[in-house]
Structures are given as C-alpha cells and as structure tokens.
Amino acid sequence: MPVTRLEPETVEILLPSVKIWRDDIEDIFNWLDALSDASIDITVRCNDATYRLDTVAELKVRRIDSITMRESRVNVKVSLGYQNSIIAVDPSFQARATVEQIAQIARKHRRYAKLMLVIFTILGIPGAAALFAFASHSTIANLTSAALTLLAFAAFMPTLEPRSRTVTSLLYTSTRTEVPSFYRRKRDDLFINGVSLLVGGIIGYLSNVIS
C-alpha cells in the first residue's frame, strides 16, 4: 500500500528586509497574477489602519508599512513589511517557479541599512579622531584615537550577525524614476560638510603649528 500524505505540503521562504519601490511591487503582483485567472487579494497596512485593494495602482500614499498579496486558487501568499516571507500551500511546479522569481526580486533589493551604519561608524569615528590627533600632535590624542577605533569596532561588530533581522523594510509606492537618489538630494549638504571638516582640520593644524 503506497504511503499517502494527509496534510498538504507547505513551502515557506523567509525573505530579508527589503527596500522596494512600486516597480518591484508591480512585478511581484504580475508574477502572482500569471498563476491563474483568480483575483489577487491585496491588503495594505498604513498609518495604523488596514486597507484592501483590488490593484497595485490604487496605492496613493508615499510609503506603506506592509503589504500582503494572496493568490487564492493556487494558494500563494507574499508578505512584505513587518514579516517578509512567501508561503505556498501544496505548490505546483509553476507555483514553485513563481515563488523563486518573487524571492529573487526581494533578495535583489535587500536593505543593508545596518551595514551602512557600521561602515559609517567604523570609518567616521576613527577618522575624526585621527584628524584630531594629527592636528594636536599629542600622545593623549593618539591614544584617544586608538581607543575610539576599538570602541567603534566593538560596539558594532554584533550588528554584522547574519541572523539579525531588526532592519525595517521600506516599501515605497513611487517608482525609482519619480524619486531622486539620496546623493542627488543630499549632495549639497555633503559637499558643505566635507569642506567644513577639511577647513576645520587645516585651521586646527595651523593654529597648533603657530602656537
């Protein structure tokens, strides 16, 4: 007598925290929509309220907290925001392929906010301390620079733990072309801050030499 499985197989893929735009949300919707002629149930969480939508085109706010898209006939659910996962119940070969395509979209837009914070801290704090030590030419300043470097590494090394999932997903309802990049929005501030830092270091160094 052949062995028969009583419960349907459930496939769950945990996704990383993501930073995605409307383009990506529409891509995910289109992959789900291609599975069957059943409608896609879309649930959105925004501003402490939950909304049900018929299409992604109904997203009007700038950002949403979470979105869930469920294809009812093939039974595939995609959740992004508070929980990032794909769940497929008793998936067919086509459904498995669709799940993998959606997972690739999410992985391609993984959010590395914590890693960027680590890089900024590891480079920024010791860099500022080194500039101070260079300007003052004192043993205490050199020791302070070394201590700050070690503290920066010690404080933020735990955040490199791959199992850490505390980074919040960012879900934008605008397309990438509609919103300028961080550099384009902040380049003037970055330039002014960089010049100020350079001028301050030179003035500190010259003041120390003259005195």
pTM tops 0.75: no
- Identify whether 174 is part of a domain: no
At 11 the three-state DSSP class reads strand
Which residue, of 61, 88, 108, is where some domain finishes?
Answer: 108
Does one domain contain both 84 and 123? Answer: no
The reply to whether 5 falls in a domain is no
Give 132-155 as a DSSP string.
Answer: HHHHH--HHHHHHHHHHHHHHHHH
Cα-based distances in Å from 128 to 113, 134, 152, 201, 208: 22, 10, 12, 9, 17
Domain boundary among 90, 108, 126: 108
Q: Residues 132, 194: one domain? A: yes
Q: Residue 134 domain-assigned?
A: yes
Claim to verify: residue 69 and residue 152 sit in the same structural domain: no
Domain finish residue from 85, 108, 131: 108
Closest-CA residue to 75 (of 86, 88, 56): 88
In a shared domain, residues 62 and 124: no
Mark whether 37 and 104 lie in a shared domain: yes
pLDDT, the chain, mean:
75
Element (H, E) at 29: helix 22-33
**Domain annotation covers residue 203:** yes
How confident is the model over 127-151, as a mean pLDDT?
56
Q: Quick: pLDDT tens for 78-111.
A: 999 988 999 999 888 999 999 999 999 999 998 8
- Out of 11-15, 34-38, 192-196, which region has the weakest mean confidence (pLDDT)? 192-196
Same domain for 118 and 200: yes
Same domain, 121 and 206: yes
The answer to whether residues 118 and 205 belong to one domain is: yes
**Distance from C-alpha of 13 to C-alpha of 36, rounded to nearest angstrom:** 21
The number of distinct structural domains making up the chain is 2
pLDDT per residue as tens digits for the range 57-74: 887 777 899 999 999 888
Q: Are residues 93 and 129 in the same domain?
A: no
Residues spanned by the domain of 90? 10-108
In order, the DSSP letters of 76-143 are EEEEESSS-EEEEES--HHHHHHHHHHHHHHHHTB--HHHHHHHHHHHHHHHHHHHHHHHH--HHHHH
Output the pLDDT for position 31: 94
